[in-house]
């Protein structure tokens, strides 16, 4: 079964720098662009970032540009999100998601269960 | 990038059809066919129900259909069932190589 499992969330102090991971299984990870999407408590979905299949191209939402870095290790079938200079408004469930056909413009057909990041002192 | 505009809530009786609208601009919804719809039941991860304006992924009921006219996309759920109660989000790829989501619509089955 195709699966994505996020980890690395928790309680973080303002200004902190956690790294989220997303372990992929049962598909050819290196052939698909991958993305992060977040959802603040009681709010809607917000796209965060996407990385191409090779890792050579990355794009970010304006709200995280310059603070977050998306990366991947295709040898480990793992996607990452390095989060720096965290603010209270970054508090959210962070989902990783797989693109349906591999290109960094198409829909997200598989989602993880999400990992909660809470930014608070 | 501003969120796409969706109605906050839509409701219908079992068996009826409902339509959710999603309005963007020429730089997102109106600019290409990369428009998607997701269903999110309470406390669960989103699930893709429509991709590229009107295509259904394998396993999604044919009661779900999508369309687009100009800068507005629409999701229609026909033969409404209790299991369709969820939040629905539209999304679009943009001319800036980013994505934008809609504000979300809560669907209630009366």
pLDDT in tens, A26-82: 999 999 999 999 999 999 999 999 999 999 999 999 999 999 999 999 999 999 999
State which residue of chain A sits closest to B34, comparing Cα positions: A106
Pairing mode of beta strands A92-99, A68-73: unpaired
Contact call for residues A62 and A68 (beta carbons, < 8 A): no
Contact call for residues A30 and A95 (beta carbons, < 8 A): no
Give the count of Cβ contacts less than 8 A between chain A and B.
Answer: 64
The shortest CB-CB distance from A106 to any of B1, B34, B45 is to B34
- Quick one: average pLDDT of B13-23? 98
Q: Are the Cβ atoms of A47 and B48 closer than 8 angstroms?
A: no
- Mean pLDDT of all residues in chain B? 97
pLDDT in tens, B82-106: 999 999 999 999 999 999 999 999 9
Confidence of residue B2 (pLDDT cuts 50, 70, 90): confident
pLDDT in tens, B53-74: 999 999 999 999 999 999 999 9
Q: Does A73 touch chain B (CB under 8 A)?
A: no
pLDDT at B17 over 80: yes
Q: Are the Cβ atoms of A45 and B1 closer than 8 angstroms?
A: no
- Distances in Å between the Cα of B62 and the Cα atoms of A72, B87, B92, B105 are 35, 19, 22, 20
Confidence of residue B37 (pLDDT cuts 50, 70, 90): very high
Computed on alpha carbons and rounded to an integer, the radius of gyration of chain A in Å comes to 13
- As a whole number of angstroms, the longest Cα–Cα distance in chain A is 41
Confidence of residue B75 (pLDDT cuts 50, 70, 90): very high
pLDDT in tens, A8-21: 999 999 999 999 99
Q: Does A111 touch chain B (CB under 8 A)?
A: yes
The shortest CB-CB distance from A59 to any of B3, B48, B98 is to B98
Pairing mode of beta strands B72-77, B86-93: unpaired
The shortest CB-CB distance from B48 to any of A46, A61, A107 is to A107
What is the structure's pLDDT at B1? 74
What is the structure's pLDDT at A69? 98
């Amino acid at each position: 079964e195709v699966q994505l499992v996020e980890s690395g969330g928790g309680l973080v102090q303002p200004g902190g720098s956690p790294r989220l991971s997303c372990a992929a299984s049962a598909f050819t990870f290196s052939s698909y662009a991958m993305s992060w999407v977040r959802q603040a408590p009681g709010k809607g979905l917000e796209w965060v970032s996407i990385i191409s299949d090779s890792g050579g191209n990355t794009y970010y939402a304006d709200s995280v540009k310059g603070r977050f870095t998306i990366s991947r290790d295709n040898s480990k079938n793992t996607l990452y999100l390095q989060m720096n200079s965290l603010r209270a408004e970054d508090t959210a469930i962070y989902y990783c998601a797989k693109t349906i056909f591999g290109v960094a413009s198409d829909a997200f057909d598989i989602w993880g269960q999400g990992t909660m990041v809470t930014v608070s002192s | 990038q501003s969120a796409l505009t969706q109605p906050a809530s839509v409701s219908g009786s079992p068996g009826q059809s409902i339509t959710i609208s999603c309005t963007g601009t020429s730089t997102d919804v109106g600019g290409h066919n990369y428009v998607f719809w997701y269903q999110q039941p309470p406390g669960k991860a989103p699930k893709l129900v429509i991709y590229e304006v009107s295509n259904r992924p394998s396993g999604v009921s044919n009661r779900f259909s999508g369309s687009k006219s100009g800068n507005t996309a629409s999701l229609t759920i026909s033969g409404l069932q209790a299991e369709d109660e969820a939040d629905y989000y539209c999304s679009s790829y943009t001319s800036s190589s980013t994505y934008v989501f809609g504000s979300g619509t809560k669907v209630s089955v009366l």
